[in-house]
């Protein structure tokens, strides 16, 4: 078979595999209700003033935040789909000679830095809004340090990808995509596994939850749930934000349950238990591992699509390069990656929202306390200034979780389903 024929077959097989994995592996209906369901109604649990404050915050923060996404994508597409990117790489790499390694290194830094610098004022504006609303607790210098760390991390991963890719393209011009698909999938698994021990400590300090009744009750709950947990870790999130959160990351030996110190300070012990019960739901269903495997499959699909792009003489000409092995094609590669991330995010979020709902059902099953669940959701929504009633477009594109009012309605549905008293309005 020609390498092109093999590429098309591989793409179709991987794509079918990905669609099947998502269709069969996603909990589309986490709560099996047969009767009428409780309507989602933000005004039942949130006052008009609370809704107005959240609306005002989003009206202020979304323009710079969304513009930043649009500008980053536009810069990427302009550099990759016109000769501008290739010219920029020529210009910055010429003092280092004509070796392809220098071009990938210096060119990769230049192309990513242009995009990062252009969106910096917009990101600063969004940060200023968060500070005005008391959500961010950072000084400008610590914010800039975070930006630099984030850029450095992205740059390292980008350069690893680019060196791997161009190294393969130059060694195996016809079959590089097969190696790259396997390599890309493995990279996703390795990064996800190493993330909690390599990446997270760059941004936060983690300490074991202090011994005491709360820690004992959380570990007891984990044991009762059949999820072995040695510890619950506390992140010093308060150095950056007032937001409340908890999460599970890693898998196997690196799996950990983390709660923000902000949550421990403001929520009641019963509310913390509800949050940890939700995280145990993720751990029990191995959501991080399955998400990683789907991500690995998605990456292999993406590499095949990228190979098709790099075989298109028209697109290469547009990017000002003659062949896919020309390291100046990295601007085109980065543009396709940026586009792939933007297009892939809504699909990822669709799956994420169902998985989050399943973890919520798990929390309710484990704690059997929908009243506390609702109080906790109300607190999370208010402190994090969550959008209580987003437009369907914003929700579909960006929401990784159901809204607070949706999660509250779920808790009432759960109570109905289990014949327990349905908690009333939580607005204070």
**Contact set with Zn ion (CB under 5 A):** 356, 359
The nearest distance, CB 359 to Zn ion, in angstroms, is 5
CA distance 153 to 80: 22
The nearest distance, CB 402 to Zn ion, in angstroms, is 10
The nearest distance, CB 192 to Zn ion, in angstroms, is 16
Closest to Zn ion by CB, 88 or 289: 289
CB neighbour class for 97 (10 Å; exposed up to 12, middle 13-18, buried from 19): exposed
Closest to Zn ion by CB, 200 or 356: 356
Q: Which residues contact 363 (CB under 8 A, 6 or more apart)?
A: 274, 275, 277, 278, 280, 281, 373
Closest to Zn ion by CB, 61 or 359: 359
**Do residues 347 and 265 lie in contact, with contact meaning Cβ atoms separated by under 8 Å?**
no
Q: What would the 3-class secondary structure string for 133-155 be?
A: CCCECCCHHHHHHHHHHHHHHHH
Closest to Zn ion by CB, 126 or 218: 218
Q: Which residues contact 100 (CB under 8 A, 6 or more apart)?
A: 166, 170, 327
**Do residues 187 and 158 lie in contact, with contact meaning Cβ atoms separated by under 8 Å?**
no
Closest to Zn ion by CB, 127 or 356: 356
The nearest distance, CB 356 to Zn ion, in angstroms, is 5
CA distance 106 to 84: 15
The nearest distance, CB 41 to Zn ion, in angstroms, is 23
Closest to Zn ion by CB, 274 or 333: 274
The nearest distance, CB 310 to Zn ion, in angstroms, is 37
């Amino acid at each position: 078979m020609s390498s092109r024929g093999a590429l098309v077959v591989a793409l179709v097989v991987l794509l079918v595999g990905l669609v099947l994995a998502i269709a069969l592996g996603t909990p589309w209906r986490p709560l099996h209700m047969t009767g009428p369901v409780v309507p989602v109604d933000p005004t039942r649990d949130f006052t008009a003033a609370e809704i107005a404050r959240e609306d005002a915050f989003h009206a202020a923060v979304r323009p710079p935040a969304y513009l930043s996404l649009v500008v980053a994508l536009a810069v990427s597409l302009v550099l990759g789909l016109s000769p501008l990117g290739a010219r920029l790489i020529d210009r910055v790499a010429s003092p280092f000679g004509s070796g392809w390694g220098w071009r990938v290194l210096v060119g990769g830094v230049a192309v990513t830095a242009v995009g990062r610098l252009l969106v910096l004022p917009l990101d600063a504006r969004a940060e200023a809004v968060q500070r005005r609303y008391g959500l961010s607790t950072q000084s400008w210098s610590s914010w800039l340090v975070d930006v630099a760390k984030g850029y450095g991390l992205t740059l390292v991963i980008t350069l690893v990808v680019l060196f791997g890719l161009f190294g393969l393209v130059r060694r195996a011009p016809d079959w590089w995509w097969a190696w790259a698909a396997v390599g890309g999938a493995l990279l996703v698994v390795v990064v996800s596994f190493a993330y909690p021990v390599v990446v997270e400590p760059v941004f936060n300090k983690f300490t074991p939850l202090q011994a005491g009744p709360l820690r004992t009750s959380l570990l007891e709950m984990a044991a009762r749930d059949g999820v072995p947990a040695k510890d619950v870790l506390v992140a010093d999130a308060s150095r950056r934000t007032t937001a409340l959160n908890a999460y599970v990351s890693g898998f196997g030996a690196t799996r950990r349950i983390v709660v923000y110190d902000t949550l421990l300070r403001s929520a009641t012990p019963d509310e913390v238990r509800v949050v940890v019960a939700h995280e145990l739901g993720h751990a029990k269903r191995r959501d991080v591992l399955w998400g990683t495997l789907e991500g690995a499959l998605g990456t292999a699909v993406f590499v095949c699509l990228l190979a098709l792009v790099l075989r298109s003489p028209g697109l290469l000409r547009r990017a000002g390069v003659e062949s896919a092995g020309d390291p100046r094609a990295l601007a085109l590669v980065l543009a396709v990656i940026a586009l792939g991330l933007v297009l892939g995010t809504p699909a990822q979020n669709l799956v994420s929202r169902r998985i989050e709902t399943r973890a919520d059902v798990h929390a309710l099953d484990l704690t059997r306390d929908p009243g506390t669940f609702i109080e906790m959701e109300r607190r999370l929504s208010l402190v994090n200034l969550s959008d209580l009633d987003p437009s369907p477009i914003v929700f579909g594109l960006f929401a990784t979780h159901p809204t607070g009012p949706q999660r509250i309605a779920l808790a009432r549905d759960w109570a109905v389903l289990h014949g327990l008293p349905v908690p009333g309005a939580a607005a204070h």
